[in-house]
Amino acid sequence: MASIAFSNVEKYFDDQRVIRDFTLRIGDGEFVVLVGPSGCGKSTLLRMLAGLERITEGEIRIDDTVVNEQTPQERNVAMVFQNYALYPHMTVRQNLAFPLKMRKLDKSEIDRRIQDAADLLGLEPLLDRKPKQLSGGQRQRIAMGRSIVRDPSVFLMDEPLSNLDAKLRVQIRTEIAELQKRMQTTTVYVTHDQVEAMTLGQRVVVLKDGELQQVATPQALYDAPANVFVAGFIGSPAMNIVRSRLEKGEGGTFRVRMGGTSLPVSEERAAVFPGLEQKEGEPVLVGLRPESFFVAEEAASREAQIGVVVDTVEMLGHETIVYGRFAEEGEEEAQTVTARLGPNLRIDLDEEIRLGVDTEKIYLFDAEDETSLMDVQQVAEEIGARERNREETPAGE
Amino acid sequence: MADTEKRTRHNRRVRDDRPVALAMLTPGLVGMIVFIVIPFLTAIFLSFTNRRLGSPLPVEFTGFRQYLLVLTDASFLRAIVNNIIFLLVVVPVQTGLALALALLLNRKLKGMVIFRTLFFMPVVFPMSLIAVIWVLIYAPGQSGMMNSLLEIVTFGYWEPKDFLHNPWLALPAVMLLSVWQGTGFQMIVLLAGLQGIPHTLYEAAALDGAGKWHQFRHVTLPQLRNPLIFVVIVTSILSFRVFDQVRIMTRGGPNDASTTVVFEAIRAGFDRAQVARGAAMTVIFFLIVLTITLIQRHFFRHEE
Amino acid sequence: MQRRRLIGNLLNYLFMTVFALLFISPILFMIVGSFKPDAQVLSDMGTLNAFFPDEVTVQNYRDVFERAPFGRYLFNSAVVNGFIVGLGLLVNSLAGYALARLRWRGRRLVLNFVLAVMVIPFEAIAVPLFYQVTVLGWRNDYWVQIFPFIAYPLSIYLFYSFFLGMPKELEEAARIDGAGPLRTFFVIIVPNAKPAFASVAIVTLLLFWGLYLWPLLVTAGESVRPLPLGIATFYTLPPLQWGDILAFGVMMVAPILIVFLLFQRWFVRGVASTGLKG
């Protein structure tokens, strides 16, 4: 059990800065996921925490002890590698015993711990095989086992699912979540896959080019992305972002132009963007998730409708994804738009369709620095409070 | 907890393996320094003196005198010429032969492994043994194996020769067995190179309408560039390192007809105890090898 | 089409067989001749009979043991090569690992040093090294034949490139599990680097089994001399008996030939790897 604190951590490879002023506190027993595109520095952060990379600047603490100068063993961290890194010449049992032998535990204690881990993960029948004789999923489990036997204060996982096929990935993902819940060990998990990040993390850390973009619960990341990058990275297909201008229409409602149409921002929605008044007449970036569109016949108001010329249609069975262009050009050149619609639609290519827009779900970003105009902190806290409520209510019954 | 604090105070860097690295390297480094670097520097030092083993005269610095003597010595000059002839003949013949064999063996046919084994076999033979066997093969007179063979292929026109005592034939005789011994090595390297060429390149070339010759010219040869440079350079260097077979078969004779640079260096430094003279020859020999090596590195760099 | 390919293959086989036989004819001649009475070796030599035994005799082999201390030579070769290969594997793999995988300042420098030393052929140091050991009075024992060849830059380089190509995760896992660099090397790396050890062992054995120049300079008499000097001496021993010499040759090459045939895969891989990396 341990808490972790990164304080102003920087990392240089030669002259190249790969991590920039990174600060993060991770609570005891928390499951935190680092996510970002490849090369964003997430693995480097994990490896610095593990003691596999030196920390150029700043401090990392585990339980209030500065670990910058400690060996991995002294930090008492365990790590699951992407390719599992099982020792090929050792049996599963020997693999599990190795870290324990290194800590000079006695034979009976080693046997006991291996037995416990084997029971927990169902490894018993595999103990005397070699890694080569095991399937990918089994190897993954052994790698987990090798981490568990040590009873580490921190679990580190570096893309542990990326070598598995899609089906197994879902299964083991659930197992990892359950295991962590049961063991209550502080866990830092690195992935490039946003689905893994959203399903596993109690909190998710989004990184880009070595810089922290946002730390929040999965729901808060989705509902209140701190900037255009996070908005585009979380959610699939990615959010539509359109350059526009904030205007004030009749009756004092704010409006933004999108695809030649002027969309109203409802009063309720406008309330989450403090300081909109000052932005009047200024350029802004408007964000709309593909799932905020719907087929227009169902729409009550004709006010929030956009014409889209269809380029590509993906029929996925349970939903239909439409890629197209705005029918009327705005002040910018034609922009593409992605919409996620219901099943069983008949849509022809190059046809113009009318799409309704859920204007309650409009996002607004600063046109200059691309940060959200939302009070992200406030919204995230509200979401957090709502989630806690939901969790507590059934428990209280 | 207290334990952790104590460890932190070590203030050890997370990863500086210097002590371990030096410990792991020490035996190797000491070995190379004592048995390669120091003798090498000694050679340079000795080459500027008049040192002879067993000589009562004090060691004196004589500057470039040894070099002057060596480079005006008829036997040594003949040795350099011989080595150059050796290189100019053996390198192309051996490389061509090895490439042809490698190409033939590269086909996906049954039994190719057996042929590969046979062609490689001479490589594992110690040169001293090969030299002795070939002395017998080169036996003078009508009943000698080489003489008989040449008589058959020339339909009786060949006059039996005493190869190893003939000033025109001694060096070619030594070259022939060197080719025989070295081809297998080159062949294996080139074969490995051939097997590393992606098959799709040939398929792409065939689809582009390239015939067998063009495939060889535009796919095989460029892809084999590195292994080819390597075998050419290694064989060139080996052409200058020739010693064992000359020592055993001809002792450099007749009349220096088959002498080599290393043979001269050993004859001076060891047989005649003229250590300084041998050292000077050694240094010249090294400079030649170094030049060839630098040519190789130049080629490899250009390709990058 | 099928037929043309068949004929092509047949021609290929035919050519290869003829050429291969011609190629290994000196070896066949040696083996066949070693089982012939001495006089017959010479009289058959100019004819195809050279490759066919008439009456098989092992007299030549008996002669070798009678006329020369063959067992002694073989033992000497085995001792010298055993130590060169064994100690060489240890010393050079450690050095190769430190260069490939450990992080320390000066690594590049030492690597360049190894590459530079690799350029120096043994022939370039034979005379001064001979001078050095003579001045020290260190001659005519096993160690003087062994020590100069233990630390071998080519072996270091081969190990270096092999370790460089191994995935790093194993070592990182070992570090996280609490193993230091030395233990990681011996417990994790060595068991997973068998191909490298096999290749280097075989390449060095091939290089040193036939070593002739150095023992020629530093040994005298038969007590510590290895096989290559043995045959050179035996061949000058009167009376000149070619059957005996060929029998000596067969027995001399047999150990390394057996090693070669058994471990051909590693042999080929080792030799090829010296060439492909340049």
The pLDDT, as a whole number, for residue B16 is: 64
User: What is the C-alpha separation between A383 and A219, in angstroms, rounded?
Assistant: 7
- Quick one: what percent of chain B has pLDDT higher than 90? 28
pLDDT in tens, A49-77: 998 888 999 999 999 899 988 888 889 89
Q: In Å, how far is A233's CA from the nearest CA of chain C?
A: 29
Contact between chains at A66 and B8 (C-beta distance less than 8 A): yes
Coil, strand or helix: which one is A297? Answer: helix
Q: Which of C76, C231, C219 is nearest to B245 (CA)?
A: C231
Q: Single out the residue of B119, B126, B247 nearest to residue C252, CA to CA.
A: B126
A282 pLDDT more than 90: no
Give the pLDDT confidence score for residue C191 in this predicted structure.
92
Substitution target from B22, B26, B36 for chain C, most C beta carbons within 10 A = B36
Instruction: Find the length of chain A.
Output: 397
Chain B partners within 8 Å of A104 (Cβ): none
CB A216 within 8 A of CB A246: no
Q: Which of residues 232-251 of C touch B (CB under 8 A)?
A: 232, 235, 242, 245-246, 249
Q: Which pair of structure tokens corresponds to residue C33?
A: 């001749």
Q: How far apart are the first and last CA of chain B?
A: 54
> Measured between alpha carbons, how far is B109 from B105 in angstroms, rounded to an integer?
8
On the question of pLDDT at B285 being above 70, the answer is: yes
Say yes or no to pLDDT of C194 above 80: yes
Tell me the β-bridge partners of A204. Answer: A33, A216
What's the gap in Å between the CA of B246 and the closest CA on chain A? 49
- Cβ neighbours of B14 in A, within 8 Å: 51, 53-55, 68-71
Q: Is B72 on the interface with A (CB under 8 A)?
A: no
CB contact (8 A) between residue B121 and residue C151: no
> How many other CB atoms are found less than 10 A from the CB of residue A332?
12
- Give the A-side interface with B, CB within 8 Å: 51-55, 65-66, 68-71, 74
Inter-chain CB proximity B14 and A55 less than 8 Å: yes
Q: Which residues contact A191 (CB under 8 A, 6 or more apart)?
A: A33, A34, A35, A42, A159, A161, A162, A197, A200
Ramachandran assignment for A257, one of left (phi > 0), alpha (psi -120 to 50 degrees), beta (any other): beta
Residue A25, pLDDT above cutoff 60: yes
- B chain contacts of residue C251, beta-carbon cutoff 8 Å: none
Shortest CA gap B277–chain C (Å): 10
Under 8 Å between Cβ of A243 and A366: no
Q: For residues A287 and A240, is the Cβ–Cβ distance under 8 A?
A: yes
The number of residues making up chain B comes to: 304
pLDDT the model gives residue A332: 56
Which residues of B fall within a CB distance of 8 Å from C127?
43, 265-266, 268-270, 275, 278-279, 281-282
**pLDDT higher at B303 or B213:** B213
- Determine whether the interchain pair C178/A102 forms a contact, defined as Cβ–Cβ distance below 8 Å: yes
Q: pLDDT at position A397, please?
A: 39
Q: Do B43 and C119 touch (CB under 8 A)?
A: no
- pLDDT at residue A383, as a whole number: 84
Residue A73 distance to chain C (closest CA, Å): 5
Q: What pLDDT shows up at residue B17?
A: 76
Question: Residue B15, by phi and psi: left (phi above 0), alpha (psi -120 to 50) or beta?
Answer: beta
Widest CA span in chain A: 80
Q: What is the pLDDT of residue B303?
A: 52
DSSP 8-state secondary structure symbol assigned to residue A103: T
Q: How far is C176 from chain A (nearest CA, A)?
A: 5
The alpha carbon of residue C197 is apart from the nearest alpha carbon of chain A, in Å, by: 15
Q: Counting every residue, how long is chain C?
A: 278
Say if strands A283-288 and A363-366 run parallel, antiparallel, or are unpaired.
antiparallel
The CB-based long-range contact list for A203-206 (8 Å cut-off, 24+ gap) reads A203/A30, A203/A31, A203/A32, A203/A33, A204/A32, A204/A33, A204/A35, A204/A234, A205/A24, A205/A32, A205/A33, A205/A34, A205/A35, A205/A42, A206/A35, A206/A36, A206/A230, A206/A233, A206/A234
What is the pLDDT confidence band of residue C278, given thresholds at 50, 70 and 90?
Answer: very low
Res B10: pLDDT: 36
Q: Report whether B66 contacts B269 (CB < 8 A).
A: no
Taking 3-state DSSP, the helix, strand and coil percentages for chain A, each rounded to the nearest 5, stand at 35, 30, 35
Report whether C33 contacts C50 (CB < 8 A). yes
pTM greater than the 0.80 cutoff: yes
Per cent of chain C over pLDDT 90 is 30
Helix C70-101 to helix C107-119 angle, to the nearest 10 degrees? 150
- Answer yes or no: are the C-beta atoms of A310 and A347 closer than 8 Å: yes
* Range list of H helices, C24-106: 25-34, 38-44, 59-67, 70-101
What does DSSP assign to residue A141?
A: H
pLDDT (mean) for C253-275: 78
Joined together, the tokens standing for residue C109 give 């420098």
Neighbours of B (≥3 Cβ pairs closer than 8 A)? A, C
Question: How is the beta sheet containing A186-191 ordered, strand by strand?
Answer: A77-80, A154-158, A186-191, A31-35, A203-208, A211-216
pLDDT at B27 over 90: yes
B143 part of contact set with chain A, CB < 8 Å? no
pLDDT confidence of residue B172? 92
- Residue in chain C closest to A147 (alpha carbons) equals C177
Residue in A52, A69, A74 closest to B13 by CB: A69
Which residue in C has a C-alpha nearest to residue B36's C-alpha?
A: C125
3-state secondary structure of C150: coil
- pLDDT value of residue C185: 93
pLDDT digits (tens, 9 = 90+) for B108-166: 778 888 888 889 889 889 999 999 999 888 888 777 888 888 888 888 788 888 888 88
Surface of C (185-224) touching B: CB under 8 A:
185, 206, 209-210, 212-213, 216-217
Kindly state whether C26 is in contact with chain B, defined as any CB-CB distance less than 8 angstroms. yes
Instruction: Give CB contacts under 8 A, 24+ apart, made by B66-71.
Output: B66/B276, B66/B277, B66/B279, B66/B280, B67/B280, B67/B283, B67/B284, B69/B277, B69/B280, B70/B277, B70/B280, B70/B281, B70/B284, B71/B284
Residue among C169, C176, C184, C194 with most chain A CBs within 10 A, to mutate: C176
DSSP-derived 3-state class of residue C113 = helix
Using one digit for the tens of pLDDT, what is the confidence trace for B30-87? 999 999 999 999 889 888 888 887 777 777 888 888 898 888 888 999 999 999 999 9
Test A73 with C188 for CB contact under 8 angstroms.
no
